[in-house]
Amino acid sequence: MQLQDLLYGVSIKSLTDKPNQEVASLAFDSRQVKPDTLFFAIKGTAVDGHQYIEQTITAGATVVVCETLPTDLTEGVTYVEVQNSSVALGIVASNFYGNPSSKLKIIGITGTNGKTTIATLLFQLFRELGYNVGLISTVQNHINDDIIPATHTTPNPIALNSLLQDMVQAKCEYGFMEVSSHAVVQHRIAGLTFAGGVFSNITHDHLDFHKTFDSYLKAKKEFFDNLPKSSFALTNADDKNGMVMLQNTKASKKTYALKQMADFKAKIIENKFSGLNLNVDDIDVFFKMVGSFNAYNLLAAYGTAILLGEDKLNVLTILSTLAGAEGRFDYTVSKQGIIGIVDYAHTPDAVQNVLSTIANIRKGTEQVITVLGCGGDRDKTKRPIMAQVASDWSDKVILTSDNPRTENPQQIIAEMEKGVSPTNQRKTLSILDRKEAIKTACHIAKPGDIILVAGKGHEKYQEINGVRHHFDDKEVLTEQLNLIN
């Protein structure tokens, strides 16, 4: 493709050479550069991509998009100076793959918790309604029934637009995708055309990256600020910041809520381990999914489907049968009647939601035993709070390791322990090895007790120092529960 066509829509400060240069491929990582590649020099969180420009030219890059021109320019190479290389990457990647987002109806879902659940429900719902559909999510990506492994919640612009192009080729009409706050700040969604945006909620997470709650909130809001006039913006009116998200959007503003007036309204009639009984827009429905937080997720999916023109009864009938995403409130009962739940709660709010759901449903005499860890190289300030919430809401807590990544897992546990109040210390123990921790929970449990294994949900690995070792909470929990006589 010619450079001038790729640069359509990019705000250019200067261009040194041939705008008709042919470009064979795009790369933002020097290690991916081949002959005739357009290389984007990006200032990242760890290094500045500008330092690799020379290296990429040696490897065959013929065009370089950068924010600062190198002092020595190489002859035969076209340099494009831009204000922001990440924004340029989004727009160019979109052009390179034929602007696939404008050929699909893309709905972006953002918020601290619930993105995967809402996106997955919408994917499953629209498949059942008979459409060709794509899904981009933390657990996995889908093009109809084909599964494409996910590396991020929201992929980088090249992977993202390539995936969207594949969806167009598979004749998908809809694409449901998670929009993480990292993706907004790093402009991974620049250049995309959205048909709608959905907000779930905002609570404490990712302060390592965003630094303050206010800038985390601004990142989520920016997604809505940039939606086009032709799209809709559906928000959770019960969330303290739900309406803030829509303050500056051009999109048509819509709301859903359980507690106040809204365009889409539901009431919880009953909340049991077997599911939720909800009144949605004056229709009583029994859903498979558990927990009041899932009432919000179901309502968000319902509202989105109605805004996309689907029939109310059809939508509710299908939604009532869906189980949502893997590893979210995933429930099993052992032969002895011990209840095991695997959940992806990895924020203070999610831990509290899952445990308060269990507290509301339990009969009262049984113990709740929680196994929980916190990820390394992620927000450190949520660690003591997660441990505090878990110990406040459980009869026994086992603090353990999650994905330590490059951190010392013992140190992460020590930071969690600081959140456990002196009165709660009696019921809290720490076991570094996650398998041992789950095993211990199973040994302590008596028939009727509830074990919650939180934080890793669908993940099939434990990441230690850059290596992913096989680890599956559900597998370990089921195996250990089966070993008890």
Ligand X SMILES: CC(=O)N[C@H]1[C@@H](OP(=O)(O)OP(=O)(O)OC[C@H]2O[C@@H](n3ccc(=O)[nH]c3=O)[C@H](O)[C@@H]2O)O[C@H](CO)[C@@H](O)[C@@H]1O[C@H](C)C(=O)N[C@@H](C)C(=O)N[C@H](CCC(=O)O)C(=O)O
Amino acid identity, residue 451?
A: I
Residues 104-116 as b or e (16 or more Cβ within 10 Å = b): bbbbbbbbbbbbb
Site for ligand ATP contains 174 (CB under 6 A) = no
Task: Give the three-class secondary structure for 422.
Answer: helix
**Which span (89-97, 124-132, 221-229, 348-356) binds ligand ATP, by CB under 6 A?**
348-356
Site for ligand X contains 394 (CB under 6 A) = no
Q: Supply the minimum distance, in Å, between the C-beta of residue 115 and ligand X.
A: 7
Handedness of CA 307, 311, 316, 317 (dihedral sign): negative
Residues 395 and 452: their CA atoms lie apart, in Å, by 11
From the list ligand ATP, Mg ion, ligand X, none, partner contacted by residue 113 (C-beta under 5 to 8 A by kind): ligand ATP
- Eight-state DSSP code of residue 73: P
Site for ligand X contains 152 (CB under 6 A) = yes
Residues 102 and 376: their CA atoms lie apart, in Å, by 38
From the list ligand API, ligand ATP, Mg ion, none, partner contacted by residue 293 (C-beta under 5 to 8 A by kind): ligand ATP
Site for ligand API contains 346 (CB under 6 A) = yes
Nearest CB to ligand ATP, comparing residues 23 and 198: 198
Residues 216 and 213: their CA atoms lie apart, in Å, by 5
Q: How far is CA 463 from the centre of its chain?
A: 18
Site for ligand API contains 456 (CB under 6 A) = yes
Binder among 287, 344, 393, 471 for ligand ATP (CB under 6 A): 344
Do the beta carbons of residue 247 and residue 222 sit within 8 Å? Answer: no
∠396-398-402 over CA atoms, to 5°?
Answer: 145
Do the beta carbons of residue 117 and residue 294 sit within 8 Å? Answer: yes
Other CB atoms within 10 Å distance of the CB of residue 323: 17
Site for ligand X contains 161 (CB under 6 A) = no
Residue 22 labeled ligand binder = no
Residue with tokens 């449901």, as numbered in its chain: 176
From the list ligand X, ligand ATP, ligand API, none, partner contacted by residue 152 (C-beta under 5 to 8 A by kind): ligand X
Site for ligand API contains 153 (CB under 6 A) = yes
- Eight-state DSSP code of residue 48: B
Residue with tokens 């020379």, as numbered in its chain: 54
∠20-24-26 over CA atoms, to 5°?
Answer: 105
Residue 484 neighbours by CB under 8 Å, 6+ apart = 334, 336, 338, 442, 443, 445
From the list Mg ion, ligand API, ligand X, none, partner contacted by residue 154 (C-beta under 5 to 8 A by kind): ligand X
Binder among 6, 27, 354, 358 for ligand ATP (CB under 6 A): 354
Site for ligand API contains 402 (CB under 6 A) = yes
From the list ligand API, ligand X, ligand ATP, none, partner contacted by residue 297 (C-beta under 5 to 8 A by kind): ligand ATP
Residues 390 and 27: their CA atoms lie apart, in Å, by 43
Q: Supply the minimum distance, in Å, between the C-beta of residue 452 and ligand ATP.
A: 10
Site for ligand ATP contains 124 (CB under 6 A) = no
Binder among 38, 49, 164, 357 for ligand X (CB under 6 A): 49
Measured from each CB, the residue nearest to ligand X is: 44
Feature table: binding site for meso-2,6-diaminopimelate: 378, 402-405, 455, 459
Provide the binding-site residues for ligand ATP, judged by CB under 6 A.
111, 113-117, 138, 153, 178, 200-201, 293, 296-297, 328, 343-345, 349-350, 353-354, 457
Provide the binding-site residues for ligand X, judged by CB under 6 A.
28-31, 42, 44-47, 49, 52, 138, 152-154, 156, 180, 182-183, 209
Feature table: binding site: 30, 111-117, 153-154, 180, 186, 188, 378, 402-405, 455, 459
